[in-house]
């Protein structure tokens, strides 16, 4: 197994010939620790990456998630929202046009 981060994979002793509650508890604990390690954020390195079906806005995404707008991949930052639309209309007062 190749791990791209500095994770220590679980090491298992040779299993006993008979069922051992102690051995089974050790295996379960080792897997639990490994799963927690995998779920923690850490370094990532890749030479190629393919991202498919990216969201087109940051609505509902957690900070650090990727989304794409007009061909550009962006990273969600909570302090900098990216509204889905930037078109608006407004009205102030009235205008009368007379032609003769």
Per-residue model confidence as pLDDT tens digits over 47-90:
888 889 999 989 899 899 999 988 999 999 988 888 776 677 77
DSSP string, the chain: ---SSS------PPPPSS--HHHHHHHHHHHHHHHHHHHS------S-----S--SS-TTPPTT-EEEETTEEEE-BTTB---S--------S-------
Q: What is the pLDDT of residue 5?
A: 61
Percent of the chain exceeding pLDDT 90 equals: 27
Whole-model pTM over 0.95: no
Per-residue pLDDT band at 94 (split at 50, 70, 90) = confident
């Amino acid at each position: 197994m190749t791990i791209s981060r500095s994770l220590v994979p679980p090491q298992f002793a040779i299993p006993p010939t008979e069922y051992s509650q102690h051995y089974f508890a050790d295996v379960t604990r080792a897997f639990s620790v490994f799963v927690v390690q995998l779920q923690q954020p850490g370094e990532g390195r890749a030479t190629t990456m393919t991202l498919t079906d990216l969201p087109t806005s940051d609505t509902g995404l957690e900070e650090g998630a990727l989304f794409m707008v007009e061909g550009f991949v962006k990273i969600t930052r909570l302090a900098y929202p990216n509204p889905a639309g930037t078109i608006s209309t407004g009205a102030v007062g009235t205008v009368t046009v007379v032609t003769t």
